Structure 1
Amino acid sequence: MDDREPQHQDHDLVSDAGDEIKGMAKDGLNHPSTKPVLTGAAIGAIAGGVLPVVTWPLGLVAGAGFMLYKRLRP
């Protein structure tokens, strides 16, 4: 078993996400996470529109959430 802690485990994901969302809201498109998260939201919405079980709003939220997670925990 590996005794080393992963580098990204030193912070709480929820508080990190809140800080990132606040920064994105404050800085708008100038924030480095805004464009990737919006791209993920668009891709998720398109996928949600194509897939028969998932609706586009659910795909939008899932895509944005995934990209935000990948920005916080690469």
Structure 2
Amino acid sequence: MTDPQRPNQNGDFVTDARQELAGMLNDGMAHPSTKPVLLWGAAGAVAAAFLPFVSIPMGLAAGAGYKFYKRVRPD
């Protein structure tokens, strides 16, 4: 089943992720995925500050990466 909000989704993760990232880079903060990805990145960085074995950049990348993945593959 195709998502009506993602008309270009073809089932290939790499292609879908590339299109999503290109849209985020072109539209900036106006793109619907940019704010949630940045918010989850910030949350990951804050969580990493409290964990002794995780660095803040690693937490930022993990939080942003998780939300980006869930935006590309919501199921």
Q: Distance in 1 between matches of 2:12 and 2:49?
A: 33
Q: Distance in 2 between matches of 1:24 and 1:55?
A: 26
CA offset at residue 61 of structure 1?
Answer: 0.5
What count of residue pairs does the alignment treat as equivalent? Answer: 67
Q: Distance in 2 between matches of 1:45 and 1:15?
A: 28
Structural mapping, 1:1-74, within 5 Å:
7=1, 11-74=11-74
Q: Distance in 2 between matches of 1:57 and 1:65?
A: 12
Q: Distance in 2 between matches of 1:40 and 1:56?
A: 13
Q: Distance in 2 between matches of 1:15 and 1:46?
A: 31
CA offset at residue 27 of structure 1?
Answer: 0.1
CA offset at residue 60 of structure 1?
Answer: 0.3
CA offset at residue 14 of structure 1?
Answer: 1.8
SS at match of 2:54: coil
Structure 2 gap segments, 5+ residues each: 3-9
Larger radius of gyration between Structure 1 and Structure 2: 1
Report the residue type matching 1:32 in the other structure.
P
Report the residue type matching 1:66 in the other structure.
Y
What value does the CA root-mean-square deviation take over the aligned residues?
A: 1.4
Q: Distance in 2 between matches of 1:38 and 1:58?
A: 14
More helix by share: 1
Q: Identity of paired residues, percent?
A: 54
> Where do 4+ consecutive residues of structure 1 move more than 3 Å?
none
